[in-house]
Amino acid sequence: MRSRGFKPSVFYNRRIQNEINLASMDYLYKQCHYININVAVLLERGMEMEKSLKDKKILVVGGSSGIGLAVAKFVYKLGAKVVIASRSAVIRHDALVGDVGERIQTVSFDIASAHEIGSLLDAMRKIDHLVIAVRPDIKPALFQETDFDSAREAFESKFWGSYRLIQAAWNQINPGGSIIMTTGIAGEKVFKGSSTMGIINNALETLCRSLAVELAPIRVNAVSPGFVEPKSREVQERALQFPIQRLATKEEIARAYVYLMTNDYVTGTTMVVDGGARLI
């Protein structure tokens, strides 16, 4: 409330106004200065990220299609030496060279075979980052209707395959290196017909946290994708309900792997990239 008898003069008002203007100019100048510094820092960090993967050896198991292929393409562009291992990788070598680039190496490899794990690692020697993005051959089915052998095979490749591969590979990982597994939304949220994938994903996330402690200083993380393109019309329509209102692209998922490879302070983490799908 204005005090009684107070009559602000025009001069007084102008003086205040000038002071305010000068203060705002100074404030704005400082903000621009900070913004410029922040832009410079961001650019520098981007370049550091690029530099930190240059010439690093990255083994992408399950890199011949889908999310693994998107990771292979991304890290290749950042200058990494990329090895793609999967059952069909060698047969698809030319197509993969076309997709990713000339400098890739491909290895024929079945993660469910203990023998093939040994041969892959003998050929590999040292690795900087190990990415596992293998999809087991299992169709969604209600628990009562799930074929036990299919469920066991899915565990054999995605869970036991990752377990056995990491157990054999961890001491071939260079200092500063990391391991990244792939889990999925079926571990975050319950969907009818996805109990087997849910258990496998949860088991891998528990393994991730344990290994971050036991294999330190090697960093161990996981990426949990939501629903990734392409999907049926029904799933696309369901995606409209997600906070981000659409399916993920493979590239958006791949960025999480690059972040986990390049941030030296992150370990034992499952990075969820699901457009908020788990929240609704």
Ligand X SMILES: NC(=O)c1ccc[n+]([C@@H]2O[C@H](COP(=O)([O-])OP(=O)(O)OC[C@H]3O[C@@H](n4cnc5c(N)ncnc54)[C@H](OP(=O)(O)O)[C@@H]3O)[C@@H](O)[C@H]2O)c1
The yes or no reply on residue 134 touching ligand X (CB under 6 A) is yes
Q: Candidates 26-34, 120-128, 143-151, 177-185 — which segment interacts with ligand X by CB under 6 A? A: 177-185
Beta bridge partners of 179: 130, 220
Of 184, 207, 209, 206, residue with least CA distance to 196: 184
Of 236, 217, 220, residue with least CA distance to 228: 236
Beta bridge partners of 220: 179
The yes or no reply on residue 187 touching ligand X (CB under 6 A) is no
Measured in residues, the chain has a length of: 280
Query: Of 14-73, which residues contact ligand X (CB under 6 A)?
Result: 61-68
What does DSSP assign to residue 127?
A: E
Candidate residues 72, 225, 257, 275; the one interacting with ligand X per rule CB under 6 A = 225
Candidate residues 158, 198, 257, 275; the one interacting with ligand X per rule CB under 6 A = 158
The yes or no reply on residue 198 touching ligand X (CB under 6 A) is no
The yes or no reply on residue 88 touching ligand X (CB under 6 A) is yes
224 or 262: whose CB is closer to ligand X? 224
For 229, phi then psi, to 5°, come to -60, 150
Longest dimension (CA), the chain: 95
Structure tokens, 5 = 């008898």
| Interatomic CA distance for residues 56 and 129, integer angstroms | 8
The yes or no reply on residue 86 touching ligand X (CB under 6 A) is yes
Number of residues that bind ligand X (CB under 6 A): 27
Q: Candidates 7-15, 71-79, 99-107, 130-138 — which segment interacts with ligand X by CB under 6 A? A: 130-138
Residues that bind ligand X (CB under 6 A): 61-68, 86-89, 109-112, 133-135, 157-158, 182, 184-185, 225, 227-228
